[in-house]
Amino acid sequence: MTDPENPAATPRGSALRRAAPALLGYAAVRALGLVTLAVWSAASGESAHRLLSGRWDSLWYTRVAELGYGYEVRLPNGDVHANLAFFPLLPWLERIGHAVTPLSYADAGLLVSAVASLAAAWGIFAVADHVHGRRAGVCAALVWAILPVGIVQSMAYSESLFTALAAWSLYAVLTGRWPAAGLLAAFAGLTRPVGIAVVAALWVAAISSFVGEHRRGGSVPRTDGARPWRRALAMAVAPLGAAGYVLWVGHRTGGGPLGYLDVQAGWRNGFDGGYAFGRFVAEKFTSFPSALAGAALVAGVVLVLSLYVTCVRQGQPPALLVYTGIVVALALCASSYFGSKPRLLLPAFPLLFPPARALARLRTSRSALVVGGVAVASAVYGAFWLNGSGPP
């Protein structure tokens, strides 16, 4: 028997059938983006394959997979770009893919990204379905697919892998699967520095559950059915990935527990509360042409913050709000790589739940028209973007 009102209680086969519209729609949008990129790149004399797997961060990940850590580039201004800045899970998976298949390290990265992006879409659907219902879940996966920088989901980058791990960890938290949530959070922490957002979300949910039980005095059964030791185990396991890698980098560099921050400083990257980004935006208003870009940046920040406020008002679970808040804060308040901020916001998928709910309220034909139109625009933008400046 399955329970249509409780997707967490359905068997795996039923869960896959429940998510099928979201996964098929997501795959169609990503296919459209890749075809558009291939056509645009061919017309420009560029290789779509190289753009997806052989530029920017993709090269750093494949170098780690092939040669291990220790590679660095010293710039004329004295900055040191060390590959220790890149967390290890994606390179590990690329190395495994290369070892067990005929694929190159770069192509193994594309395969990991393709599988992870589908897993991320499913995870986003699962979380939105649990919180807002199936129709909103389908729309949430589609909205994530049609984001203007959605093409990154198909690149040999770590965004798709991280989002998949984060989404399923949060789903496990919401459905009381604490050991699984802790393990997935640990893997998320091995993928990107923002893995601390998943750890914090799990800790907040677990502590809230403990406090709630204490206030009830044990007279009321636990709502998640989990024994306290399972939540305690999840809290202990969750930070091991991020903490383990950061401490290893500190030991390797001789910088101690904060050695990873020194590595990031070599990239001129850090957390300054948004000061550098604010100054960057303000400088855009010094001339008319760049003022348009400045206005667009301000509008984008206002949109992100407005969506977060809406998430709060719509009663998203605290775990989702904590996770999203930290992802947004780290993305907007990083002190450099301002062009990367839209990409860094990709994992903040709960921000998409309000527009997904609005889309879900439309008739199917109308919502399909909206998604289709935006998907075409997103595919064109993605092709233009990667054939131009692209993501740093």
Number of structural domains (the chain) is: 1
Buried/exposed code over 64-88 (b: 16+ C-beta within 10 A; e: otherwise)? bbeeebeeeeeeeeeeebbbbbbbb
Is residue 245 within 8 Å of residue 189, measured between CB atoms? yes
How far from 209 is each of 165, 171, 389, CA to CA, in Å?
22, 16, 46
Assess if residue 392 is contained within a domain: no
Q: What Å distances lie between residue 263 and 1, 156, 258, CA to CA?
A: 53, 22, 9
Reported as a single tens digit per residue, the pLDDT across 112-126 is 999 999 999 999 999
158 in a domain, yes or no?
yes
* Alpha-carbon distances, residue 224 vs 15, 81, 173 (angstroms): 19, 46, 9
| Mean pLDDT in residue range 267-283 | 90
Q: What pLDDT, on the 0 to 100 scale, is given for residue 223?
A: 45
In the chain, beta strands by DSSP E: 72-74, 80-82
Q: Is residue 6 part of a domain?
A: no
In a domain, 79, yes or no: yes
Q: E strands within 137-221?
A: none
For 6-48, how does the pLDDT look when each residue is reduced to its tens digit (9 = 90+)?
A: 555 556 679 999 999 999 999 999 999 999 999 999 999 999 9
* Per-residue model confidence (pLDDT) at position 286: 87
Which tens digit of pLDDT belongs to each residue from 125-146? 999 999 999 999 999 999 999 9
Three-state secondary structure readout of 321-376: HHHHHHHHHHHHCECCCHHHHHHHCCCCHHHHHHHHHHHHCCCHHHHHHHHHHHHH
* In-domain check, residue 11: no
Which pLDDT band, with edges at 50, 70 and 90, does 227 fall under? confident
Residues 6+ apart with CB under 8 A from 96: 108
Q: Which residues contact 279 (CB under 8 A, 6 or more apart)?
A: none
The pLDDT of residue 3 is above 80: no
Least confident of 111-115, 204-208, 219-223, 336-340: 219-223
Asked whether residue 349 carries a pLDDT value surpassing 90, the answer given is yes
- pLDDT band with cut points at 50, 70 and 90 for residue 4: very low
| Residue 35 domain boundaries | 16-386
Whether the Cβ atoms of residue 308 and residue 325 lie closer than 8 Å to each other: yes
User: For the stretch 256-273, what's the b/e string if a residue is b when 16 or more beta carbons lie within 10 angstroms of its beta carbon?
Assistant: eeebbebbbebeebeeee
Three-state DSSP class for 256?
helix
Quick one: pLDDT band at residue 225, thresholds 50, 70, 90?
low
Q: pLDDT for 363-386, tens place per residue?
A: 999 999 999 999 999 999 999 999
Q: Does residue 291 form part of some domain?
A: yes
Mean pLDDT of the chain: 92
**Is residue 42 one of the residues assigned to a domain?**
yes
Domain contains 317: yes
